[in-house]
A and B are shown apart, each in its own frame.
Chain A
Amino acid sequence: MATTHQTAAPQVHSGVQPLRAGQGTSFLWRKLHSLLGIIPIGAFLLEHLLSNYEALKGPLAYAEQVKFLNSLPLVRVLEWAFIFLPILYHAFYGLYIWLRGKSNVVYYPWAGNWMYTAQRWTGMIAFFYIGYHVATQRFLGADLPHNPGMAFAKVQHELSNPLILAFYVISMIAICWHFAYGIWLFAAKWGITPGKTARKRFGYVCAAIGVLLCVMGLASIWAFVGPKYANAPANVPVSTLVAPAHAGSAFHLSSFQPAARS
């Protein structure tokens, strides 16, 4: 085969590599990230928001709830296995996902693209907030697992700073957004809602869930900063019962009843 002489010709750069068919483990890690966002993290979020809702019934009810949760068997194991580690993984892997995506919402300002971008920013807010929140409320200051009676006052004291209050409110909205859209994404990406109509309808469901959670969360914050329980005692005596009367499940309707007055 003959060929003509060539001077050094320009070279086309290499671009995006083709699919590595069947190779690697990123599928597993990505799906784990997605699943953890729903279970256990999403489930925990629900539990947490429901528990917080007890604050609306006053410092005593709130303390009872904190005590109940801390009395669960193997609570420290549960806490690490089902809360801290999943959140850490979800957060860091999520950051990794974010860093590898190239947002282009400036050029393509379409609804789905906005949501894609919002999911990353709300995740980031959630990441910082949760880090701060866990550090200050769980590990620093009053040791609530052993002094559940101090819970209400500790939070109230925290939220008395308007900057921190704002941080809480913003983060509450961001987290509810992230979770609600996360459920929608989960359903779409796991093929639970493969049709356009199904995705649209489920979108309304997710939006309703998000709004409901957000309202509940903000109401709980209001319980700490509103006038009703202003200047709550630093510590409230908690009943010595192993579990409060409504101990069933955090999801159980009875949790909403004013059990603390029993």
Chain B
Amino acid sequence: MAAPKIIVIGGGLAGLSAVIKIAEAGGNVDLFSIVPVKRSHSVCAQGGINAAKNLKGEGDTTWQHFDDTIYGGDFLANQTPVKGMCEAAPGIIDLLDRMGVPFNRTPEGLLDFRRFGGTLYHRTAFAGATTGQQLLYALDEQVRRHEAEGKVTKYEGWEFLSAVLDSKGVARGITAMNLRTMELRSFPADAIILATGGVGALFGKSTNSVVCTGSAQSAIFQQGAYYANGEFIQVHPTSIPGEDKLRLMSESARGEGGRVWVPRNPGDKRPVKQIPAAERFYFLEEWYPKYGNLVPRDVATRAIHKVVYELGLGIDGQPMVYLDLTHIDRATLDHKLGGILEIYEKFVGVDPHDEPMKIFPGMHYTMGGLWVDFDQMTNIPGIFAAGECEYQYHGANRLGANSLVSCIYGGFQAGPNALRYAKNLTAAEGDGGHAAELARQTEINNRLVRNDGNENPFRLWRELGQTMTEHATVTRYNKGLKVADQKIVELLDRYNKVNLSDRSQWANTSFAFARQLKNMLELSRTVVLGALQRDESRGAHYKPDFPERNDERFLKTSKASYTGSPEGPRIDYEDVDIQHIKPRPRRYDAAK
């Protein structure tokens, strides 16, 4: 029998990790990516990657990492896979080091570690302030090596449209569209791994890259996959507001000593550096003396919102607070944070060495994603998922520097598991559903091209982003969530009248975008309805009307399934695996 064929969709850390494992085990991989894989969104991760290597004499352990992660995620994550990830993390760091990632070193030549939010240990390995870039490149290089040896075939510039399912609902391949020739094609495979990243585009402007639309997850969701914990959206406390996107200001800025403050007097007209310490309100340090500026992201984000919207202390009355690094000497900053400070200077035009940065929370990450079992397989046989597009490792809130490790660990699990699955797969009946699925996709395309309405897809998207940001991010009210859902339903209706200003069949970006938009709209409903039905506050999900965590009703994974009906997705609840650590209250104003 020929080596099983696995299709991996997405060339970020999770996808590439899976590819490497499969290629190494002798499998045959087709790698699909919208962009050249080296340009995937993982490249944006800045601060670092967590692993309890305990190289700072603090007595850190993988159990402690596990506990921090579960606690930080407000006990919503299934504990067994998280435990596995934390135990594997030190080995993953070693592997990355062997692959040539230029991690910062100690004078003795060992890996250096920094502190990150939600922990009291120095547990975060880092390569300057561009850790994600360095990690992605290391994996990209390994994949290029396998590609040169003929074990991997890359399909860069192809967008995944759907899975091909046979009559028994088993995955037999995918359909994809060439973004240059607009050619539609189906590709056979014995197993599929989705590693398609985040959903930032649902919120219009976010810290995510342009390709992070969640379109692939949504397509699979609409084909019957569960989408779990979709309501858990991480809003990063420190982003740089921009016209086209929100640019991340890494948590490492606080990890290296950055302090968040606002003037106590909101009308303070003095130049920022002349405001004396006594008249600065270091609110995170005052409210959370133990963790200070390094409280978890949801806590910091809500604190900033409170300072700006409830206390009216935003700088110059604007929704902004200071993130101050000016007390740290220039050489240290350049050495440890050079890359991100350069971003700030380039995009804002102010040197953060000299002046505190002005930042505000921005949508950053989805803890929720495709439901997967402990083998990383979705409920559709043969479709696996890894990385940000699945839900498994972060519960209700992700700790900083845990995403990179979860991507790589997830990929390392999904790859071999998919291969094992594929080896035991029986042959499909007939063509496995290829012709039918291709016909369905062709029909969707034809309808879209012919459509003769008056709606511009990019404008619909802006409206979606505004609604989602307003109602479904930091603070959620059931009234607002209902408004948001109605708005999405309205947008879905208007989507039927989309008019492409470009109907050509060559590198037509609005065509590809219009297809993504439909999927974005469908997926947005799972976020909004998931939030609406979860009447509690947990991790990143915060409802002032239900300010307490309610373990009795909601220590449960929400599982959305597509119904196709106007009422939207159905949400079911599943118990969480809490066999290792008993849930306890999550507080960062005192020791846990």
Establish whether A and B are touching in the complex (CB under 8 Å). yes
A residues in contact (CB < 8 Å) with B = 1-4, 6-7, 9-10, 12
Nearest B residue (CB) for A4: B184
Contact of A12 among B180, B185, B505 (CB under 8 A): B180
Q: Is the CB of B183 within 8 A of A3?
A: yes
Q: Is the CB of A1 within 8 A of B187?
A: yes
With a cutoff of 8 Å between Cβ atoms, the chain B residues found around residue A3 in the complex are 183-186, 438
User: B405 CB to closest chain A CB, in angstroms?
Assistant: 35
Known: A1-B188, A2-B434, A7-B505. 13 other contacts (CB 8 A): A1-B187, A1-B434, A2-B185, A2-B186, A2-B431, A2-B438, A3-B186, A4-B183, A4-B184, A4-B185, A4-B438, A6-B183, A10-B506
Interface mask (B420-435 → A, CB under 8 Å = 1, otherwise 0)? 0000000000010011
Interface mask (B181-201 → A, CB under 8 Å = 1, otherwise 0)? 101111110000000000000
With a cutoff of 8 Å between Cβ atoms, the chain B residues found around residue A10 in the complex are 506
Q: Is the CB of A9 within 8 A of B505?
A: yes
Cα separation A49 to B150 with both chains bound (whole Å): 60
Q: Is the CB of A9 within 8 A of B506?
A: yes
Cα separation A3 to B186 with both chains bound (whole Å): 6
B:149-189 near A, CB below 8 Å: 180-181, 183-188
B318 on the interface (CB 8 Å rule)?
Answer: no
Nearest B residue (CB) for A10: B506
Contact of B181 among A1, A2, A9 (CB under 8 A): A9
Nearest A residue (CB) for B187: A1
Cα separation A9 to B438 with both chains bound (whole Å): 20
Q: Is the CB of B186 within 8 A of A1?
A: yes
6 residue pairs from A and B, CB less than 8 Å apart: A2-B431, A2-B434, A3-B185, A4-B438, A9-B505, A9-B506
Q: Is the CB of B180 within 8 A of A1?
A: no
Which residue among A2, A6, A9, A10 has the maximum number of chain B CB atoms within 10 Å of its CB?
A: A2
Q: Is the CB of A1 within 8 A of B505?
A: no
B residues in contact (CB < 8 Å) with A = 180-181, 183-188, 431, 434-435, 438, 442, 505-506
Does more than half of chain A's interface fall in helix, strand or loop, or is it mixed?
A: loop
User: B408 CB to closest chain A CB, in angstroms?
Assistant: 30
With a cutoff of 8 Å between Cβ atoms, the chain B residues found around residue A12 in the complex are 180
User: B174 CB to closest chain A CB, in angstroms?
Assistant: 11
With a cutoff of 8 Å between Cβ atoms, the chain B residues found around residue A7 in the complex are 505
User: A12 CB to closest chain B CB, in angstroms?
Assistant: 7
Cα separation A2 to B431 with both chains bound (whole Å): 10
Cα separation A9 to B505 with both chains bound (whole Å): 8
Cα separation A10 to B438 with both chains bound (whole Å): 23
With a cutoff of 8 Å between Cβ atoms, the chain A residues found around residue B505 in the complex are 7, 9
Nearest A residue (CB) for B437: A2
With a cutoff of 8 Å between Cβ atoms, the chain A residues found around residue B186 in the complex are 1-3
Q: Is the CB of A2 within 8 A of B183?
A: no
With a cutoff of 8 Å between Cβ atoms, the chain A residues found around residue B438 in the complex are 2-4
Cα separation A9 to B180 with both chains bound (whole Å): 10
User: A5 CB to closest chain B CB, in angstroms?
Assistant: 9
Q: Would you list the 4 A-B pairs with minimal beta carbon distance, nearest first?
A: A3-B185, A4-B184, A2-B438, A9-B181
User: B68 CB to closest chain A CB, in angstroms?
Assistant: 44
Cα separation A12 to B184 with both chains bound (whole Å): 18
Q: Known: A9-B505, A9-B506, A10-B506. Is A4-B180 also a contact (CB below 8 A)?
A: no
Cα separation A249 to B23 with both chains bound (whole Å): 67
Cα separation A10 to B508 with both chains bound (whole Å): 13
Nearest B residue (CB) for A7: B505
Cα separation A9 to B186 with both chains bound (whole Å): 19
Cα separation A9 to B185 with both chains bound (whole Å): 15
Q: Is the CB of B506 within 8 A of A2?
A: no
Cα separation A137 to B261 with both chains bound (whole Å): 82
Nearest A residue (CB) for B188: A1
Q: Is the CB of A6 within 8 A of B434?
A: no
Nearest A residue (CB) for B180: A12
User: B146 CB to closest chain A CB, in angstroms?
Assistant: 18
Nearest B residue (CB) for A6: B183
With a cutoff of 8 Å between Cβ atoms, the chain A residues found around residue B431 in the complex are 2
Cα separation A12 to B181 with both chains bound (whole Å): 10
Cα separation A9 to B188 with both chains bound (whole Å): 24
Q: Is the CB of B185 within 8 A of A1?
A: yes
With a cutoff of 8 Å between Cβ atoms, the chain A residues found around residue B184 in the complex are 3-4
Q: Is the CB of B181 within 8 A of A6?
A: yes
Cα separation A135 to B19 with both chains bound (whole Å): 68
Nearest A residue (CB) for B183: A6
With a cutoff of 8 Å between Cβ atoms, the chain B residues found around residue A9 in the complex are 181, 183, 505-506
With a cutoff of 8 Å between Cβ atoms, the chain B residues found around residue A1 in the complex are 185-188, 434
Which residue among A3, A4, A6 has the maximum number of chain B CB atoms within 10 Å of its CB?
A: A4
User: B265 CB to closest chain A CB, in angstroms?
Assistant: 48
User: A8 CB to closest chain B CB, in angstroms?
Assistant: 11
Q: Is the CB of B442 within 8 A of A4?
A: yes
Cα separation A6 to B180 with both chains bound (whole Å): 13
User: B154 CB to closest chain A CB, in angstroms?
Assistant: 15
With a cutoff of 8 Å between Cβ atoms, the chain B residues found around residue A4 in the complex are 183-185, 438, 442
Cα separation A2 to B437 with both chains bound (whole Å): 10
Nearest B residue (CB) for A12: B180
Cα separation A2 to B438 with both chains bound (whole Å): 7
User: A203 CB to closest chain B CB, in angstroms?
Assistant: 27
Nearest B residue (CB) for A3: B185
User: B565 CB to closest chain A CB, in angstroms?
Assistant: 31
Cα separation A10 to B178 with both chains bound (whole Å): 13
Cα separation A10 to B184 with both chains bound (whole Å): 16
Nearest A residue (CB) for B175: A2
User: B338 CB to closest chain A CB, in angstroms?
Assistant: 18
Cα separation A3 to B434 with both chains bound (whole Å): 10
User: B509 CB to closest chain A CB, in angstroms?
Assistant: 15
With a cutoff of 8 Å between Cβ atoms, the chain A residues found around residue B442 in the complex are 4
Nearest A residue (CB) for B181: A9
Cα separation A1 to B187 with both chains bound (whole Å): 6
Cα separation A1 to B172 with both chains bound (whole Å): 11
User: B39 CB to closest chain A CB, in angstroms?
Assistant: 18
With a cutoff of 8 Å between Cβ atoms, the chain A residues found around residue B187 in the complex are 1
User: A1 CB to closest chain B CB, in angstroms?
Assistant: 6
With a cutoff of 8 Å between Cβ atoms, the chain A residues found around residue B188 in the complex are 1
Cα separation A54 to B180 with both chains bound (whole Å): 70
User: B313 CB to closest chain A CB, in angstroms?
Assistant: 47
Nearest A residue (CB) for B438: A2
User: A9 CB to closest chain B CB, in angstroms?
Assistant: 5
